[in-house]
């Protein structure tokens, strides 16, 4: 029963489908972990959510964590306010909201909001701890595992394996050049950031959606396959 993990889809549905169906060849006996950020910036946020929900409905063992962009969409909808400028990138209305066929976040169908609300912040496997961004290892142990702000947003932290009982930390959130990720996987580093900036289609060092086989340490990196869409350079 192979286990795979990927992260930071950001509306890149075609790339995700190709990675899952053609590169991984996901079956109902496999496990797939996604570390958050399904929405915003890319062309089809709703399509990504529909796809993940359909995989779950059809018996696939797909386990999803909450990301900061997912929380931003959820909070904007619940608070009836615009999406934050940092969250959606250029032309947010045409991309994120347009994919749902709405003009305002509060009109996003309840089905999607309830799905996002149910997502956990972290998952613990026998050999890995999974979280979207990371942990603030300076916090007391009981707070470190529950501090939503750091778990969804932290970018720089000093990893302490003893705080995770010797388990490795797997996270996303901070785009990392694909070559750097390959180096970290090769040496089986204690902390692995899987976000290789798939949505940043103009950046040759990024623009890949990466999946790690948690059992064999094989890394699969799929280049962005989306039709052209407006996105800033990173």
- pLDDT given at position 149: 98
Instruction: Report the Cα 213 to chain-centroid distance in Å.
Output: 16
Cα dist from 34 to 19, 23, 109, whole Å = 13, 16, 22
Q: For residue 232, give the 3-state DSSP assignment.
A: coil
3-state secondary structure 161-191: HHHHCCCEEEECCCCCCHHHHHHHHHCCCCE
Cβ atoms of 95 and 11 closer than 8 Å: yes
- pLDDT given at position 94: 81
**Spans of all domains in the chain:** 3-223
> Within the chain, what is the greatest distance between any pair of CA atoms?
47
What is the residue whose two structure tokens read 């496999």?
30
Query: In the Cβ-directed half-sphere of 93, how many Cα atoms lie within 13 Å?
Result: 4
Q: Rounded CA gap, 120 and 174, in Å? A: 19
8-state DSSP, 108: S
pLDDT tens for the chain, 234 residues: list them.
Answer: 899 999 999 999 999 999 999 999 999 999 999 999 999 999 999 999 999 999 999 999 999 999 999 999 999 999 999 999 888 666 666 899 999 999 999 999 999 999 999 999 999 999 999 999 999 999 999 899 999 999 999 999 999 999 999 999 999 999 999 999 999 999 999 999 999 999 999 999 999 999 999 999 999 999 999 999 998 777
- pLDDT given at position 111: 98
Q: Rounded CA gap, 215 and 94, in Å? A: 40
- pLDDT given at position 216: 98
- pLDDT given at position 92: 64
Q: Which of 41, 30, 65 is nearest to 220 (CA)?
A: 30
CATH superfamily of 3-223: Metallo-dependent phosphatases (3.60.21.10)
- pLDDT given at position 88: 67
DSSP β-bridge partners for residue 4: 32, 213
Q: Which of 216, 230, 152 is nearest to 185 (CA)?
A: 216
């Amino acid at each position: 029963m192979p286990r795979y993990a990927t992260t930071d889809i950001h509306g890149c549905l075609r790339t995700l489908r190709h990675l899952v169906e053609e590169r991984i060849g996901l079956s109902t006996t496999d496990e797939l972990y996604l570390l958050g950020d399904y929405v915003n910036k890319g062309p089809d946020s709703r399509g990504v959510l529909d796809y993940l929900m359909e995989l779950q409905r059809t018996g696939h063992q797909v386990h999803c964590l909450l990301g900061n962009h997912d929380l931003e969409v959820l909070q904007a909808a619940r608070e009836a306010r615009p999406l934050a400028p940092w969250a959606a990138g250029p032309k947010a209305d045409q991309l994120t909201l347009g994919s749902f066929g709405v003009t305002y976040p509060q009109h996003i169908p309840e089905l999607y909001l309830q799905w996002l609300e149910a997502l956990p912040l972290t998952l613990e496997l026998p050999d890995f701890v999974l979280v979207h961004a990371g942990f603030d290892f300076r916090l007391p142990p009981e707070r470190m595992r529950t501090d939503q702000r750091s778990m969804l947003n932290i970018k720089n932290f000093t990893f302490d394996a003893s705080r995770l009982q010797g388990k490795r930390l797997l996270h996303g959130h901070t785009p990392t050049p694909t070559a750097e990720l390959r180096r970290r996987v090769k040496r089986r580093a204690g902390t692995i950031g899987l976000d290789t900036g798939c949505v940043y289609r103009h950046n040759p060092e990024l623009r890949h959606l990466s999946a790690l086989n948690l059992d064999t340490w094989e890394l699969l990196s799929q280049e962005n396959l989306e039709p052209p869409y407006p996105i800033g350079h990173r």
